[in-house]
């Protein structure tokens, strides 16, 4: 999905006008659920209950069916995710080269389980299948930037650099 917007998690009621705009565009189009959800996720970072309910009302598809679709495809997220997205490759080559140690290091350093987000909402850690750059194994990407030939020792540095970068934003 390319670039992401920094999202803010607040207690306030969310602004649904963007979602309304997207839904206006797809008014009356059959089979438009996935593109609509993609666009909404792009705008809001993830699929919140309020937006899902709005899509349900406007597209006349029940919320359960929408969540059925959203939980089927791994591209959709129902939880807010961190500012930075860490993807650790667990493909065969990376696995052989010790990807699990890299993951371990991230979970220790960030104090977060795979697939979830740090408490300060800065990092989301995910394991992915092959990223297609086996020659650089083990490999991770942070916000789409590739870091190859990783060693567990380098994890702390990368977190430090990315975190600072994020804060200065």
Instruction: Give the count of residues interacting with other proteins (CB under 8 A).
Output: 16
The residue from 11, 72, 135, 153 that contacts other proteins (CB under 8 A) is 72
Residue 28's Cβ-count burial label (10 Å; 0-12, 13-18, 19+) is: exposed
Task: Say which DSSP state 116 is in.
Answer: S
Q: Report DSSP state, residue 117.
A: B
Token pair belonging to 166: 């994020």
C-beta atoms surrounding 48 within 10 Å = 18
Q: Rule CB under 8 A: is residue 75 a binding residue for other proteins?
A: no
Q: How far apart are CA 21 and CA 44, in angstroms?
A: 13
Q: Is 63 near other proteins (CB under 8 A)?
A: yes
Query: Which of 15, 20, 21, 49 lies at the binding interface for other proteins (CB under 8 A)?
Result: 49
Q: Which of 55, 157, 151, 18 is nearest to 97 (CA)?
A: 151
- Distance between CA 103 and CA 46 in Å, rounded? 24
Q: Is 64 in the site for other proteins (CB under 8 A)?
A: yes
Interface residue with other proteins, options 25, 29, 34, 68 (CB under 8 A): 68
Q: Which span sits near other proteins by CB under 8 A: 59-67, 95-103, 114-122, 129-137? A: 59-67
The residue among 66 and 102 lying less far from other proteins, judged by its C-beta, is 66
Q: Which is nearer to other proteins, 62 or 100 (CB)?
A: 62
Question: Considering beta carbons, is residue 62 or 111 the nearer one to other proteins?
Answer: 62
Q: Using CB under 8 A, list all residues that contact other proteins.
A: 30, 49, 52, 56, 60-68, 71-72, 78
């Amino acid at each position: 999905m390319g670039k992401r917007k920094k999202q803010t998690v607040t207690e306030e009621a969310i602004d649904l006008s963007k979602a309304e705009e997207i839904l206006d565009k797809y008014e009356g189009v059959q089979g438009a659920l996935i593109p609509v959800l993609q666009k909404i996720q792009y705008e809001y970072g993830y699929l919140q209950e309020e937006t899902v309910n709005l899509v349900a009302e406007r597209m006349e598809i029940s919320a359960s069916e929408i969540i059925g679709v959203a939980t089927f495809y791994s591209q959709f997220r129902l939880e807010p995710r961190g500012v930075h997205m860490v993807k650790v490759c667990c493909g065969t080559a990376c696995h052989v080269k010790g990807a699990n140690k890299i993951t371990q290091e991230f979970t220790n350093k960030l104090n977060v389980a795979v697939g979830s987000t740090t408490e300060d909402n800065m990092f989301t850690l995910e394991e992915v299948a092959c990223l297609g750059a086996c020659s650089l194994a083990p490999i991770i990407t942070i916000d789409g930037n590739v870091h190859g030939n990783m060693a567990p020792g380098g994890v702390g540095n990368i977190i430090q650099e990315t975190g600072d970068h994020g804060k200065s934003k």
